Amino acid sequence: MKLNKIFSRVFGSNFQENIKNQSMYGKFCDDLYHLERSDLERDFEDFLLAFFNIIQPYKNEIPTFELIIKLLNDSYTSESYPFNNEWLQITKPSKIDEIVDKEEKGFELLNEVLKFQIAELHRIKKNPPSPDDIMYGFRSETGNKWSNLHQIYNLRCGIRCMGDNSMDTNKVSWHYIALAFELGRIYE
């Protein structure tokens, strides 16, 4: 009983749930680090188009860490959504503070982030950066910063950014994945 009071003070009143979530988050990070599929390397734009395509049926579901890993893994082999030329009109990303504040609109926000990044990657293909630019970061033709042009590095850096900035990383949501992709684009 005394131990429960100590844990409650340290971890909060829902310490058992927090510990469970931290364990799930740890497994999610481990799974993410092992997700890279060298046998199925896929262009980042095509990967995002496939991810965009396969998440649509899950719009009204609350995602789990396991579901997100499954969807990311399936994005290596799933059919891509056809590129929409209208997305090229999107030249500015959602502002990070707006993303943080829009948790209740997580799925729509994830779609916005994906469309922006897909459009940017489509433009980048036409005028690819030099290897040095890729290594050290660069600005796209629309003036947006890019630090990670690989799907898994992008997500790893986004999640690391959230942890480095004390953002809640223990509860997965569509909002969380949108934030991870967007922060991963700019975080080194």
Residue reference for tokens 């953002």: 167
Given pLDDT bands bounded at 50, 70 and 90, which one contains residue 69?
Answer: confident
Cα–Cα distance measured from residue 163 to residue 17, given in angstroms and rounded to the nearest whole number: 19
Looking at the structure of the chain, the number of domains it has is 1
Q: Is residue 32 part of a domain?
A: no
Dihedral angle over CA of 83, 94, 71, 153, nearest 10 = 100
Q: Is residue 85 part of a domain?
A: yes
Given pLDDT bands bounded at 50, 70 and 90, which one contains residue 25?
Answer: low
Q: Are 179 and 162 in contact (CB under 8 A)?
A: yes
Q: Is residue 21 part of a domain?
A: no
What range defines the domain where residue 146 resides? 42-186
Q: Which of 75, 80, 9 is nearest to 49 (CA)?
A: 80
Q: What is the mean pLDDT of the chain?
A: 80
pLDDT in tens, 35-47: 665 556 789 999 9
pLDDT in tens, 113-167: 999 999 999 999 998 998 888 888 899 999 999 998 888 888 888 888 877 877 7
| SS3 track for the chain | CHHHHHHHHHHCCCHHHHHHHHHHHHHHHHHHHCCCCHHHCCCHHHHHHHHHHHHHHHCCCCCCHHHHHHHHHHCCCCCCCCCCHHHHHCCCCCCHHHHHHCHHHHHHHHHHHHHHHHHHHHHHHHCCCCHHHHHHCEECCCCCEECCCCHHHHHHHHHHHHHHCCCCCCCCCHHHHHHHHHHHHHCC
Q: Are 172 and 65 in contact (CB under 8 A)?
A: yes
Residue reference for tokens 């994906």: 114
What is this structure's pTM? 0.81
Q: Is residue 14 part of a domain?
A: no
Given pLDDT bands bounded at 50, 70 and 90, which one contains residue 54?
Answer: very high
pLDDT in tens, 172-183: 789 888 988 998
pLDDT of residue 15: 36
- How many CB atoms are closer than 10 A to CB 170? 17
133 or 57, which is more confident? 57
Q: Is residue 180 part of a domain?
A: yes
Q: Is residue 47 part of a domain?
A: yes
Q: Is residue 164 part of a domain?
A: yes
pLDDT of residue 167: 72
* Per-residue buried b or exposed e for 104-135, using 16+ beta carbons within 10 Å of the residue's own CB: eebbebbbbbbbbbbbbbbbbeeeebeeeebe
Residue 10 has pLDDT above 70, yes or no: no
Q: Is residue 157 part of a domain?
A: yes
Given pLDDT bands bounded at 50, 70 and 90, which one contains residue 18?
Answer: very low
